[in-house]
Amino acid sequence: MSYSHWILCAFYALVPAATLFAVLVRARRKRSFKPILFFLLSCISGGIIGAVLAIQYGRAVAGHVSAAQVMLAGYFCVSMMLVLKAFNWGLEQMTTSLFGVREMPKTSPDVLASPTPPDSTAPQIIQPPLRFGPARIIAAAVTRAVVLFTFGLPYVMALVMLYRPRALGEDPQQILGFGYQRVSFNATDGTPIDAFWIPAAARANTRSEAHWGERAVVLCHGLAANKSNQLILAQDLVPNGYNVLAFDFRAHGGSGGQLTTFGDLERRDVLGAVHWIRAHRAKGSQRIFGVGASMGAAALIAAAADPGEDGQAIEAIAAYGAYDSLGGLTESIARDYFPRPLQWLTLRIALPLASLHAGLDLADFSPARESQQLWPRPILVIHGHNDLIIDFGHGQKLYDAALQPKLHLWIDRADHNSIVADPDIARSVRQFFDTAQSIL
């Protein structure tokens, strides 16, 4: 990640402390506890909102969020609210000055009781003319509201896009009855990654397939999921002789980080997974494949396009519900679900703000472009015609951009999530890996 990302992380960490200092100075100068009270109310409300959202997020992904993650989400929400309040205060000062709106100066009772005599030699203080016209007040308020909406809402949208409280799920034994080992490693940029190594099931007889237990599949879950709740992707692999490494992407499950980049930086997590397999399970990974859903598929394609040894070791990919480009996906979601003003704000302000926080240009990330680097390795693109999250057209564009050898599996009346759990599709993916060969 770039320096701008770490600067922003430090900024959000320091916002509450810096705000408290400013509030204490203001309260002392005004000899009032109101600034402190308002600060405490902001902290309490922001903390509650963040904690509730984290807990609800855990339930939505069928996992549980630790107390530390709940508190961290609350702290982050407090920082975000304080930034918005500071922005609003700055807008208020700016518009008040711009439109010449001033408060009526407070005159003490003593001054009113003993006015300066007309013939007094005391210097006369000439106040600038007061401007209290309703039009000026309304214009200032409307201007502040428009600017706050134009930049404040996209700012919140950008942070909601990126920030993820990490939710933990069940293990392979509980979900599918598979034996497993819990392992950990680092992504290529040092982010700690938590994973399950699931060895192939025992052979039913000695005549079983000759390569039993010698092939490994890297399982890459989607956005707002984890290595547990999409472990169903391995339902047909482990019983048929494949070892599986299922891991949590950064900002998910038991791995490190709190910000997601929808597959761009996550490619480094995939490369770290492949490196671990090759270094620690060489006998069980004489051939390495990858299966991914949504964001996981995008990250997997980008990792396999990497020219290094680990990227080139991925011999075939099965991509469920993937997209062709992040910029194009954002544009279609904004067009389909947001009214026209929000469409412009999402593309022109929210996405650039999200890129600033992530430390890279998210709009430039293109799995379709990366897929052209897979040749001569095969890819299987799977998409449901009724996908309401990633429109079918994005899967079609990804497939069209990929070079041969390539296959597609278009599923009628299937949505974004149903294809992941479909046992028939899982069987097709395993058969694809059984016969996967480069064209060289």
User: Is 131 a residue whose pLDDT tops 70?
Assistant: no
Q: How far apart are CA 292 and CA 92, in angstroms?
A: 48
User: Is 394 a residue whose pLDDT tops 60?
Assistant: yes
Pairing assessment for the beta strands 64-65 and 167-168 based on DSSP bridges: antiparallel
Q: How far apart are CA 330 and CA 327, in angstroms?
A: 5
Q: Compute the mean pLDDT over every residue in the chain, rounded to the nearest whole number.
A: 90
pLDDT category of residue 111 using cuts at 50, 70 and 90? very low
User: Is 236 a residue whose pLDDT tops 90?
Assistant: yes
- Per-residue confidence (pLDDT) for residue 206, from 0 to 100: 55
- Per-residue confidence (pLDDT) for residue 100, from 0 to 100: 79
pLDDT category of residue 251 using cuts at 50, 70 and 90? very high
Contact 437, 423 (CB under 8 A): no
pLDDT category of residue 363 using cuts at 50, 70 and 90? very high
User: Is 384 a residue whose pLDDT tops 80?
Assistant: yes
- Per-residue confidence (pLDDT) for residue 186, from 0 to 100: 97
Residue with the bigger pLDDT between 9 and 104: it is: 9
Residue with the bigger pLDDT between 341 and 78: it is: 78
What is the rounded average pLDDT of the residues 27-48?
92
- Per-residue confidence (pLDDT) for residue 5, from 0 to 100: 73
Q: One-letter amino acid identity for 400? A: D
User: Is 391 a residue whose pLDDT tops 90?
Assistant: yes
**Residue 310, both tokens:** 């680990």
Cα angle value 402/409/216 (rounded, 5°): 75
Residue with the bigger pLDDT between 415 and 208: it is: 415
- Per-residue confidence (pLDDT) for residue 8, from 0 to 100: 82
Residue with the bigger pLDDT between 36 and 100: it is: 36
Q: How far apart are CA 351 and CA 357, in angstroms?
A: 10
**Residue 261, both tokens:** 């980049």
pTM for this model (two decimals)? 0.88
**Residue 181, both tokens:** 């080992």
Residue position matching structure tokens 């200032």: 140
- Per-residue confidence (pLDDT) for residue 101, from 0 to 100: 74
Residue with the bigger pLDDT between 335 and 439: it is: 335
3 state SS for the chain? CCHHHHHHHHHHHHHHHHHHHHHHHHHHHHCCCHHHHHHHHHHHHHHHHHHHHHHHHHHHCCCEECHHHHHHHHHHHHHHHHHHHHHHHHHHHHHHHHHCCCCCCCCCHHHHHCCCCCCCCCCCCCCCCCCCCHHHHHHHHHHHHHHHHHHHHHHHHHHHHHECCCEECCCHHHHHCCCCEEEEEECCCCCEEEEEEECCCCCCCCCCCCCCCCEEEEEECCCCCCCCCCHHHHCCCHHHCEEEEEECCCCCCCCCCCECCCCCCCHHHHHHHHHHHHHHCCHHHCEEEEEEECHHHHHHHHHHCCCCHHHHCEEEEEEECCCCCHHHHHHHHHHHHCCHHHHHHHHHHHHHHHHHHHCCCHHHCCHHHHHCCCCCCCEEEEEECCCCCCCHHHHHHHHHHCCCCEEEEEECCCCCCHHHHCHHHHHHHHHHHHHCCCCC
Q: Is the peptide bond before 405 cis (omega within 30 degrees of 0)?
A: yes
User: Is 103 a residue whose pLDDT tops 70?
Assistant: no
- Per-residue confidence (pLDDT) for residue 119, from 0 to 100: 53
User: Is 292 a residue whose pLDDT tops 90?
Assistant: yes
- Per-residue confidence (pLDDT) for residue 123, from 0 to 100: 57
Contact 362, 264 (CB under 8 A): yes
User: Is 362 a residue whose pLDDT tops 50?
Assistant: yes
Half-sphere exposure of 107 (CA within 13 A, CB side): 9
- Per-residue confidence (pLDDT) for residue 208, from 0 to 100: 57
Lowest mean pLDDT among 5-14, 165-174, 257-266, 270-279: 5-14
Most confident segment among 201-205, 313-317, 340-344: 313-317
User: Is 180 a residue whose pLDDT tops 60?
Assistant: yes
User: Is 303 a residue whose pLDDT tops 90?
Assistant: yes
Cα angle value 409/208/180 (rounded, 5°): 75
Kindly tell me the burial class for residue 205, based on how many C-beta atoms sit within 10 Å of its own C-beta (0-12, 13-18, 19 or more): exposed
What is the rounded average pLDDT of the residues 395-415?
96
- Using CA atoms, how far residue 25 sits from 22, 29, 47, 85, 106, in Å, is 5, 6, 23, 17, 22
φ, ψ of residue 84 to 5 degrees: the values are -65, -40
User: Is 120 a residue whose pLDDT tops 70?
Assistant: no
Residue position matching structure tokens 């990330």: 365
- Per-residue confidence (pLDDT) for residue 116, from 0 to 100: 52
- Per-residue confidence (pLDDT) for residue 130, from 0 to 100: 47
